[in-house]
């Protein structure tokens, strides 16, 4: 298990290439168990442990993925969302989390619309905190599952060119995966409208890899090994800066798929706005689309992270 990390898992920023590789190796070892092809030997590593899922923002994949990951390791999972909890009565996130900790949980997984929320809880609480997405900041388990999907498809990440397309400014997914790509020696090519992709993003991450910024998707497509497209973050950007012809410039259409290299991988973190950022034919491409494999790898990543954080 990775040793260079604390018992919290908050961000990919600050991890170096070997640390990220250690996480990817731990996650890859979990893939057969995540997919249900094999079962871990009894007693399960987290038998008798309790993990609390605190989700203060809508989620399907990430919440269920943490829940299944915990169950496959033998943990009990308790789910709390803002609707139906005392958050709707004005209780702060910190007070809610302190109360959950006082009930003796072994880890708290938190999703919040506020950037920095997970780190704030980690400063105040003793139990391990896992960031399941905080505002526009980071979504580190999503970053790892994207990297694992890329590594399994491409064989290696160092030296590869990976396009990340869309609403980069508002995307915690783009931030996490960019930190990971640069740490592993790849080039992250950030592509989108000038309002959402600004040249200062070239300094987002440090490492042996690099970041480039562009606005012309059609020019970039034939030059990359993978294209990760993002959901337009209507709840964060309130649509600002997203023109009605987004699809014509940045949508992954069937015509654009034909401009990609033969083995180019297509990724999307979900939820997918079909017909806006990606068309059906592309999302469901049986050979190049990794979208459902990303979801399976997400369970494996979360198994590795929960095991390391709870068992220390
Ligand atoms: C992402 C998220 O919530 O940050 N989805 C996910 O976790 N799979 C991306 C998004 O909402 O666009």
pLDDT digits (tens, 9 = 90+) for 135-174: 999 999 999 999 999 999 999 999 999 999 998 998 999 9
Dihedral over Cα of 152, 157, 162, 168: its sign:
positive
Q: Report phi then psi at 42, rounded to 5.
A: -80, 150
What is the pLDDT at residue 52? 98
CA 235 to ligand 1 center in whole angstroms: 12
Which atom of ligand 1 approaches the CA of 62 most closely?
7
What is the pLDDT at residue 5? 44
CA 142 to ligand 1 center in whole angstroms: 8
| CB-based contacts of 211, cutoff 8 Å, min separation 6 | 178, 182, 187, 188, 189, 190, 201, 202, 203, 204, 205
Q: What is the pTM of this model?
A: 0.95
Residue 312 buriedness (CB in 10 A; 0-12 / 13-18 / 19+): exposed
User: Is the Cβ atom of 185 under 6 angstroms away from ligand 1?
Assistant: no
User: Is the Cβ atom of 139 under 6 angstroms away from ligand 1?
Assistant: yes
Query: What average pLDDT score do residues 19-42 get?
Result: 94
Query: What average pLDDT score do residues 211-226 get?
Result: 98
More confident of the two residues 32 and 276: 32
Query: What average pLDDT score do residues 292-300 get?
Result: 97
CA 68 to ligand 1 center in whole angstroms: 17
Mutation pick for ligand 1 pocket among 11, 59, 234 (CB with most ligand atoms within 8 Å): 59
Q: Residue 276's pLDDT band (boundaries 50, 70, 90)?
A: confident
Paired with 77 in beta bridges are 51
| Cα atoms in the Cβ-side hemisphere of radius 13 Å centred on 296 | 16
**Separation CA 141–CA 297 (nearest Å):** 10
User: Is the Cβ atom of 294 under 6 angstroms away from ligand 1?
Assistant: no
Q: Residue 231's pLDDT band (boundaries 50, 70, 90)?
A: confident
Q: What is the mean pLDDT of the chain?
A: 92
Strands (E), 86-184: 107-112, 129-134, 161-165
Query: What average pLDDT score do residues 79-92 get?
Result: 77
pLDDT of residue 258 exceeding 50, the answer is yes
CA 11 to ligand 1 center in whole angstroms: 15
């Amino acid at each position: 298990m990775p040793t260079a990390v604390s018992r919290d898992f908050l961000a990919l920023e600050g991890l170096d290439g070997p640390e990220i590789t250690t996480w990817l190796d731990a996650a890859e070892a979990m893939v057969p168990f995540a997919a249900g092809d094999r079962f871990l030997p009894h007693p399960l590593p987290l038998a008798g442990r309790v993990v609390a899922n605190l989700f203060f923002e809508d989620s399907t994949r990430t919440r269920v993925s943490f829940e299944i990951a915990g169950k496959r390791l033998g943990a009990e999972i308790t789910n709390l969302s803002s609707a139906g909890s005392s958050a709707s009565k004005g209780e702060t996130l910190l007070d809610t989390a302190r109360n959950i900790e006082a009930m003796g949980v072994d880890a708290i997984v938190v999703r919040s619309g506020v950037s920095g929320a997970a780190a704030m809880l980690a400063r105040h609480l003793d139990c391990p905190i896992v960031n399941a997405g905080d505002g526009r900041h980071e979504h580190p388990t999503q970053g790892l599952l994207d990297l694992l999907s890329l590594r399994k498809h491409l064989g290696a990440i160092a030296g590869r060119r990976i396009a990340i397309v869309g609403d980069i400014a508002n995307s915690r997914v783009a931030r996490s995966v960019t930190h990971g790509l640069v740490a592993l020696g790849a080039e992250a090519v950030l592509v989108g409208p000038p309002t959402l992709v600004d040249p200062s993003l070239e300094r987002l991450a440090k490492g042996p890899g690099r970041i480039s910024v562009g606005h012309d998707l059609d020019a970039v497509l034939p030059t990359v090994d993978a294209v990760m497209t993002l959901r337009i973050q209507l709840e964060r950007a309130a649509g600002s800066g997203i023109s009605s012809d987004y699809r014509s410039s940045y949508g992954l259409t069937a015509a654009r798929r034909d401009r990609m290299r033969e083995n180019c991988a297509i990724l999307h973190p979900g939820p997918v706005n079909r017909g806006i950022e990606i068309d059906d034919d592309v999302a469901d491409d049986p050979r190049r689309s990794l979208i459902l494999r990303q979801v399976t790898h997400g369970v494996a990543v979360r198994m590795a992270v929960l095991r390391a954080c709870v068992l220390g």
